[in-house]
Amino acid sequence: MTASNPSPKRLLVENLAWSNDVQQRDPTYFQRLAHAQTPTFLWIGCSDSRVPAETITHASPGDLFVLRNIANMVGTGSNSSSALEYAVCVLEVKHVIVCGHHGCGGVRAALLPENDATPNVNERIEPLRRLAHFHRKELDALPTLDARINRLVELNVQAQLDVIGHSEPMSRARKRPKLHGWVYGLKDGLLRELTSEL
């Protein structure tokens, strides 16, 4: 959908067209999918509209169990812990992917002074400020803000994997899923592997 100012109605019309397309190609597709979900992956990504998990991986409904929030973080709250628990302990996904992206606005905000207009975002990204402070020597040595953002994006992906790896749901998993850290490049549409368990 490339219209510059699409309306909600447009989304509904596009949905009808999509549903018709899918059913024409595979008449029992939705019936099979409605029966149960058995995703292989838990995808933890940023809410950024430019990083839609299914689109950039050519994934289909049923493939990814998705948690997206500002700067792809797994916090202590029930939002992320419940998604992690359900994916790991109930759905028994085989892989957990944390995907950050270059130029992340949430990560950028953590490197700039607090914005009084966004108190909830400020609270949300507080762990990122602490992470940036912890790595300030390495970050300060980088030549530009963009370079510092992109490095902090990587450090954040690694930090989230550490949190997940030591989380309570992971300790209860019948078969521990493999953890993967990826970073998506907005300028080339490519995913880069930072870290991957074999």
Q: Is 104 a catalytic residue?
A: yes
CB 122 within 8 A of CB 130: no
Q: Which residue, 93 or 99, has its beta carbon nearer to Co ion?
A: 99
Residues that bind Co ion in the complex, under the rule CB under 5 A: 46, 48, 104
Q: Which residue, 64 or 157, has its beta carbon nearer to Co ion?
A: 157
Instruction: State the nearest-atom distance from the C-beta of 39 to Co ion, in Å.
Output: 22
Considering the candidates 25, 26, 35, 46, report the single residue annotated as catalytic.
Answer: 46
Instruction: State the nearest-atom distance from the C-beta of 70 to Co ion, in Å.
Output: 7
d(CA 198, CA 185): 23
Q: Is 48 a catalytic residue?
A: yes
Q: 79: part of which helix (H) or strand (E)?
A: helix 78-85
Q: Is 140 a catalytic residue?
A: no
Phi-psi region of 60 (alpha: psi -120 to 50; beta: other; left: phi over 0): beta
Considering the candidates 10, 21, 26, 50, report the single residue annotated as catalytic.
Answer: 50
Q: Which residue, 156 or 167, has its beta carbon nearer to Co ion?
A: 156
Q: Which residue, 124 or 180, has its beta carbon nearer to Co ion?
A: 124
- The strand order across the sheet containing 41-46 reads 64-69, 41-46, 95-101, 178-184, 191-196
Considering the candidates 48, 102, 108, 124, report the single residue annotated as catalytic.
Answer: 48
In 2-77, alpha helices (H): 8-25, 29-35, 53-56
Q: Is 101 a catalytic residue?
A: yes
Considering the candidates 99, 101, 108, 148, report the single residue annotated as catalytic.
Answer: 101
Instruction: State the nearest-atom distance from the C-beta of 157 to Co ion, in Å.
Output: 11
What contacts 28, CB < 8 A, 6 or more positions away? none
Identify the CA nearest to 131 among candidates 108, 99, 159. 159
Instruction: State the nearest-atom distance from the C-beta of 158 to Co ion, in Å.
Output: 16
Active site members? 46, 48, 50, 101, 104
